[in-house]
C-alpha cells in the first residue's frame, strides 16, 4: 500500500462555518461590523479581558493599526526579535520606523527580555514581544521596562490565542495585542486577525483608524448624527462572511485547544527518549504559562542534520518545515533594520528548528510520524 501523504497543516473546520455564512447571507448585511462581527468582538473581549477587540483582515493589519496609533514617525525605533514573521517588522517599516533586533532566549525562543534595556535609545518608541509558538514572553519584566522608559508594548500574539501568562490571556497585557486567524493558526477564518486595545483611552482612535479615518462606528451607535473624516486611517475591517466563519471557530475554541494539546502532549512524551540521548531538544514551556499547542518543534543538532531530517520525512510522505530566516539576515532587514550585538542564539536556533505536522485529524497518523522520526535517528547511527 502507498503510504498516505501527511501534510504539515490541514485547516480544521467545525462543521458550522457554512451554516453561519448562510445566516449572514440571509441577514443581508455583508459589509463589516454586522451581527457576526459583534459576536466575535464580545467573545474576544470576554475571553481576553481586552477593553476593546476589533476584527481586522489579518494580524498584519492589526499591527499596522497599532503603528498608526502610536504615531510612528520616520526614524522611530521599535525593539523586537529577529526570529519572527516579516509582518512584525513591516507594519512599522511602512511608517518609516526602524526595527531594532534583539536576540532570543535559548529556552522559549522568545525575545530575551534581559537584552531589551541596552537596546533603548532616545528614538525608541515601542517594544514588540512575539509569543513564539503560543508560549509567552516574560511580560512582567517587559512591562516594567516599558513603564520606566515610557514605551508602548504591542504584543504580536498572532500565535497566542488561548494561551496565558501568569493567568493573563496573551494579547491582553501590553497596550495592544495583535491576533491572527490565518488558516495556519489555531482559530481560523482563512485570512483574518484582531486588534486588542487594552487601554480605554486609545480605543476610540483605534476604531476610527480601522474605519478609513472616520467616526462611522460612533455614528452606528447613535453617538454622533453624521460621520466624517476625523483622522488618518484605512479600510481594515473584514466583511460579515468572514466573521460568520470565524464565529463557528470561536464557539469551538476550547475544543480545538484541547484536541491540539492532546497531539502536542503525545509528541512531547514520545520524544523524551530522543532528548535523553541528546539527539533532539524539545520545546520548553515556563511554569507561569499555559499554552495553546500552536506548534510542535524539535531542535536538532545542526543544519546538516535538519536538512537530512526533512528530506527523510519527505521520502516517507511526511511534511515537516523550518522557519524563519532571521529578519536581521534577510535582504530587507539588512537595509531597513538595525542590531547592536551578534544575534547568536537567533542564528543558531533558526538552523536547528524543525516543525512537525500538528492539525486536528493527525491523531490517526501520529504514531506513524513518531515511528518515522525514531527510525531517522536509528538509521543515522
Ligand atoms: C502569522 C503571523 C503573523 C501574520 O499574521 P497574518 O494574519 O497572516 O497577517 C505575524 N506575526 C507572527 C508571529 C505570525 O506567526
3-50 tens-digit pLDDT: 689 999 999 999 999 999 999 999 999 999 999 999 999 999 999 999
User: What are the pLDDT digits (tens) for 96-154?
Assistant: 999 999 999 999 999 999 999 999 999 999 999 999 999 999 999 999 999 999 999 99
58 C-alpha to center of ligand 1: Å? 8
**Whether residue 125 has its Cβ less than 6 Å from ligand 1:** no
Query: Could you tell me what percent of the chain has a pLDDT over 70?
Result: 99
Pairing mode, strands 289-290 and 297-299: unpaired
Write the DSSP string, 261-285. HHHHHHHHHHTHHHHHTTS-B----
10 C-alpha to center of ligand 1: Å? 17
Reply yes or no on whether the pLDDT at 326 is more than 80: yes
Residue reference for cell 474576544: 44
**Whether residue 88 has its Cβ less than 6 Å from ligand 1:** yes
The mean pLDDT value for 348-355 works out to 98
Go through the domains of the chain in sequence order and give each one's CATH number.
17-251 (3.40.640.10), 253-379 (3.90.1150.10)
d(CA 46, CA 48): 6
Reply yes or no on whether the pLDDT at 269 is more than 60: yes
pLDDT for 380: 64
pLDDT for 297: 98
Place 197 in a pLDDT band, splitting at 50, 70 and 90.
very high
Backbone φ, ψ for residue 332 (5° rounding):
-70, -35
Distance of CA 322 to the CA centre of its chain: 16
The mean pLDDT value for 148-161 works out to 98
pLDDT for 381: 56
Which class for 304: exposed (0-12), middle (13-18), buried (19 or more C-beta within 10 A)? exposed
115 C-alpha to center of ligand 1: Å? 24
Handedness of CA 82, 86, 87, 92 (dihedral sign): positive
**Whether residue 59 has its Cβ less than 6 Å from ligand 1:** yes
Reply yes or no on whether the pLDDT at 379 is more than 90: no
pLDDT for 341: 83
pLDDT for 2: 53
* CB-based contact 136:286 (threshold 8 Å): yes
- The residue among 316, 317, 339, 314 whose CA lies nearest residue 329 is 339
Residues shown for the chain? 381
**Whether residue 80 has its Cβ less than 6 Å from ligand 1:** no
Spell out the residues 6+ positions from residue 377 whose beta carbon is closer than 8 angstroms to its own: 274, 277, 279
Mutate to test the pocket of ligand 1, among 63, 81, 83, 87 (most ligand atoms within 8 A of CB): 87
Q: Which residue's CA is the closest to the ligand 1 atom numbered 2?
A: 158
Distance of CA 97 to the CA centre of its chain: 21
Looking at the CA of residue 58, tell me the nearest atom of ligand 1: 7
59 C-alpha to center of ligand 1: Å? 5
85 C-alpha to center of ligand 1: Å? 6
Strand partners, 281: 299
* CB-based contact 232:98 (threshold 8 Å): no
The mean pLDDT value for 62-83 works out to 98
User: What are the pLDDT digits (tens) for 210-255?
Assistant: 999 999 999 999 999 999 999 999 999 999 999 999 999 999 999 9
**Whether residue 350 has its Cβ less than 6 Å from ligand 1:** no
- C-alpha cell belonging to residue 312: 527523510
Looking at the CA of residue 193, tell me the nearest atom of ligand 1: 7
Across the chain, mean pLDDT equals 97
35 C-alpha to center of ligand 1: Å? 26
**Whether residue 193 has its Cβ less than 6 Å from ligand 1:** yes
372 C-alpha to center of ligand 1: Å? 30
Amino acid at each position: 500500500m502507498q503510504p498516505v501523504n501527511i501534510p504539515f497543516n490541514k485547516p480544521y473546520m467545525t462543521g458550522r462555518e457554512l451554516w453561519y455564512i448562510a445566516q449572514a447571507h440571509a441577514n443581508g448585511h455583508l459589509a463589516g461590523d454586522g451581527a457576526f462581527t459583534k459576536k466575535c468582538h464580545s467573545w474576544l473581549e470576554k475571553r481576553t479581558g481586552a477593553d476593546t477587540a476589533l476584527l481586522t483582515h489579518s494580524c498584519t493589519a492589526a499591527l499596522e493599526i497599532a503603528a498608526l496609533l502610536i504615531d510612528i514617525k520616520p526614524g522611530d525605533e521599535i525593539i523586537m526579535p529577529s526570529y519572527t514573521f516579516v509582518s512584525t517588522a513591516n507594519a512599522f517599516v511602512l511608517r518609516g520606523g526602524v526595527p531594532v533586533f534583539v536576540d532570543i532566549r535559548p529556552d522559549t525562543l522568545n525575545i530575551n527580555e534581559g537584552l531589551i534595556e541596552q537596546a533603548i535609545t532616545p528614538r525608541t518608541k515601542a517594544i514588540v514581544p512575539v509569543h513564539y509558538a503560543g508560549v509567552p514572553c516574560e511580560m512582567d519584566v517587559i512591562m516594567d521596562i516599558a513603564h520606566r522608559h515610557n514605551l508602548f508594548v504591542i504584543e504580536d500574539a498572532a500565535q497566542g490565542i488561548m494561551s496565558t501568562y501568569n493567568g493573563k490571556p496573551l494579547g491582553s497585557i501590553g497596550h495592544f495585542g495583535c491576533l491572527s486567524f490565518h488558516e495556519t493558526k489555531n482559530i481560523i477564518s482563512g485570512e483574518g486577525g484582531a486588534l486588542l486595545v487594552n487601554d480605554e483611552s486609545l480605543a476610540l482612535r483605534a476604531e476610527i483608524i480601522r474605519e478609513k479615518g472616520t467616526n462611522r462606528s460612533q455614528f452606528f451607535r447613535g453617538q454622533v448624527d453624521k460621520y466624517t473624516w476625523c483622522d488618518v486611517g484605512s479600510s481594515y475591517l473584514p466583511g460579515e462572511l468572514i466573521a460568520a466563519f470565524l464565529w463557528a471557530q470561536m464557539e469551538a475554541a476550547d475544543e480545538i485547544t484541547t484536541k491540539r494539546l492532546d497531539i502536542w502532549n503525545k509528541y512531547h512524551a514520545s520524544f523524551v527518549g530522543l532528548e535523553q540521548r541528546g539527539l533532539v531538544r524539545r520545546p520548553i514551556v515556563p511554569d507561569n504559562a499555559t499554552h495553546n499547542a500552536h506548534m510542535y518543534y524539535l531542535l536538532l543538532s545542526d543544519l546538516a542534520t535538519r536538512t537530512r531530517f526533512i528530506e527523510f520525512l519527505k521520502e516517507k510522505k511526511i511534511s515537516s518545515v523550518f522557519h524563519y530566516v532571521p529578519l536581521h539576515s534577510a535582504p530587507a532587514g539588512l537595509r531597513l533594520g538595525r542590531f547592536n550585538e551578534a544575534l547568536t542564539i537567533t542564528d543558531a536556533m533558526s538552523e536547528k528548528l524543525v516543525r512537525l505536522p500538528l492539525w486536528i485529524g493527525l491523531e490517526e497518523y501520529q504514531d506513524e510520524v513518531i515511528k518515522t522520526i525514531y527510525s531517522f535517528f536509528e538509521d543515522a547511527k
